[in-house]
Structure 1
Amino acid sequence: MTQMPTAPIDLCELATRLARHASVLEKACIHNAYTQAESVCGSSRLGDDCAAIEDTASGGYLLFASEGMLESFVAEDPWFAGYSAVMVNLSDVAAMGGRPIAITNTLWASEGPACDAIWQGMRAASEAYGVPIVGGHTTRISTDAPAYLGASVLGRAGKHLLTSFDARPGDRLVIAIDLNGAYRRDKPFWNASTTTAPERLRRNLELLPQLAERQLCRAAKDISNGGVVGTLAMLCACSSVGVIVDLETLPRPTAANWMKWLISFPSYGYVLAVSEERVRLVLELFHERGIDAAECGIFTSGIGVSLRFGHLVESVDFGAGRK
């Protein structure tokens, strides 16, 4: 269950710390990562969770997602790095209203227990979510070199996409997170995947395509590294809107630290832009599946991300964070 805080928090300090946090700031400046591709991306828009390619045969879209795992993550937790390489891509496909078709991987590793653990993790995720690993590229390297891991997923969506570009001023911010989990070790990762039955994992991902097909949601994004605030910074930049996040209604595990939770990467978590008249229906869909979801604010005609607690509002000043 979520915790509804009663004690006040230092909102100014929290906003300042978030603006300076490396993972959040990286998301706020994500456009720097794809500037070089802007002249060669064709008709695709850069900034979504997946590349969306029009499929004239079906009248919908092919979706293509790709993720690389941090070298330190692969070294410290190789099984979970393998699992996550699959899981995060599947979440990205779902975030755009799509369904995954197949996975490929890219692995540079030496023979041995770490490589075996990476593969065991990828296999576990493939089997849990019911999506096959159909190929990829593997290079054997010397035993003293670090392993590198990436994965890609191909998916398919209908004619109604959920994008990062369609949030409008006045849309309500809905945040949905599966709180049926726990933090993994001391990392800001909320694991509601490896302990969840495969049937539930698959049903939960299916909610996003349903939202798209019923046109209940205008824009969506998977909550990634950088947490709620970093993800909203990316969404707002793509849609040229601002957002005010109401912390008092934000789904949150009982007793979770505010700073840690706002930068956390939940294994199942989405920020959604929903018109006011559709909020109730969207919330009901998530609640029926046992997923915590709430109306957590509003998109505005301004810019950037602001936090609200009670009557207080503080902006997260990423410009100051870059100094």
Structure 2
Amino acid sequence: MIPDPEALAARLRAHPGIRSKLAIGQATAALGLAGHATGQPGDDAAVLPRAGGYDLLAGEGFIPGFVQDDPWFAGWCGVMVNLSDIAAMGGHAVALIDQIWAPDAATAAPLLAGLRDAAAAYGVPLVGGHTNFAAGELNLAVSVLGRATALISSFAARPGQVLIAVHDPRGSYRNFDNFCAALAAPPARLRGDLALLPELAEAGLVRAGKDISQGGIPGTALMLAESSGVGIEIDLSRVTPPPGVPLERWLRSFPSFGFLLTAAPEQADEICRRFTARDLAAAVIGQVTPGSAVTLRSGASAAIFWDPKITPYLGLTQREHADA
């Protein structure tokens, strides 16, 4: 049964995974950054134009409790989420660096093993970083360099496009609301699945999107809508969680492979076909609209989840968008 959109929107607005993103806006405001600044803050990776394409830089710091509760998986995620950010931009990852804090080498060992195992599985080298074995507790940050010839951007969604959700349903929850479909997957499948994103960008099929982050589907849609200066309507009846997962939990979940993409309606079938051919789930779940609000709809009932013009989320917009 689909929950009442008004009550669901209120619960999601209050969820810590969605509200935690508000800290990004506080940090970028303190740094004087905006969406039109160098690197295009608000995208999943910093964009640095170069001859023939773009360099992409991204990084992730991790919640200390998560790292300490499951250090091997935290190390794996340090690689996985960074590679997802690069793919979400239409890029290929080139190399990773890590930053490790631990009381001693033995405490750091499972974290380092997770980093090593994931780098090997995804075929992206770890090329260095920073290590401190005299810290008070275990913690982790990881950064990545990527390259793209055509971009998928948070700033390129336009009214009239459809919203496509993509995920790998062949997984289970590891902890919190982290739905992991990567650990049992063969390395060739992991690499091939991520390669679909730059293929779609280079084919001109997708220009806008984000990877589904800790904010889940509605929080990610909100970041996309705010950056692009558009509204987004999500049709709850079209959102299909993995088998056995309740809709509300899926909406706030952080999948190991999950993306929101926008595209012209006539290209949606081809985009979805490329994912489903690899046994990934892909479907149109909504539309991009004029305005600014992210709305949840179920039949004739609809509720505003968040309107960033009233309550800014990241606060990272660009001055004017050139329609193209």
Normalising by structure 2, we get a TM-score of 0.91
- Mapped to 1, the partners of 2:156 and 2:311 lie a distance apart of 27
Question: CA, structure 1 residues 54+321, in 2 after alignment: closer, same or farther (shift >3 Å)?
Answer: closer
Is 2:167 the partner of 1:174? no
Unpaired runs of at least 5, structure 1: 1-6
Partner AA of 1:116 in structure 2: A
Question: CA, structure 1 residues 28+70, in 2 after alignment: closer, same or farther (shift >3 Å)?
Answer: closer
Question: CA, structure 1 residues 188+321, in 2 after alignment: closer, same or farther (shift >3 Å)?
Answer: farther
Find the counterpart in structure 2 of residue 293 from structure 1: 282
Question: CA, structure 1 residues 9+275, in 2 after alignment: closer, same or farther (shift >3 Å)?
Answer: same
For 1:206-245, what aligned pairs fall within 5 Å after superposition? Answer: 206-245=195-234
Find the counterpart in structure 1 of residue 319 from structure 2: none
Is 2:10 the partner of 1:16? yes
RMSD: 1.9
- Mapped to 2, the partners of 1:176 and 1:317 lie a distance apart of 22
Partner AA of 2:114 in structure 1: G
Task: Percent identity, please.
Answer: 41
Determine helix, strand or coil for the equivalent of 2:20: helix
Alpha-carbon displacement from aligned partner over 1:39-67 (angstroms, at most 9, x marks no partner): 598532110000010112xx100000100
Question: CA, structure 1 residues 36+320, in 2 after alignment: closer, same or farther (shift >3 Å)?
Answer: closer
Q: CA deviation at 1:196?
A: 0.7
Partner AA of 2:48 in structure 1: I
Q: 1:194 aligns with which of 183, 193, 199?
A: 183
Find the counterpart in structure 2 of residue 155 from structure 1: 146
- Mapped to 1, the partners of 2:311 and 2:4 lie a distance apart of 18
Is 2:48 the partner of 1:53? yes
- Mapped to 2, the partners of 1:110 and 1:242 lie a distance apart of 47
Determine helix, strand or coil for the equivalent of 1:184: strand
Find the counterpart in structure 2 of residue 4 from structure 1: none
Q: How many residues end up aligned between the 2 structures? A: 310
Partner AA of 2:43 in structure 1: D
Question: CA, structure 1 residues 15+34, in 2 after alignment: closer, same or farther (shift >3 Å)?
Answer: same
Alpha-carbon displacement from aligned partner over 1:194-245 (angstroms, at most 9, x marks no partner): 1111000000000000010001012010001111111111111100111110
Partner AA of 2:145 in structure 1: L
Q: 2:263 aligns with which of 253, 263, 274?
A: 274
Determine helix, strand or coil for the equivalent of 2:109: helix
Find the counterpart in structure 1 of residue 249 from structure 2: 260
- Mapped to 2, the partners of 1:209 and 1:89 lie a distance apart of 15
Normalising by structure 1, we get a TM-score of 0.91
Determine helix, strand or coil for the equivalent of 1:316: strand
Unpaired runs of at least 5, structure 2: 314-324
Determine helix, strand or coil for the equivalent of 2:38: coil
2:169–2:243 CA contact under 8 A, matched in 1:
no
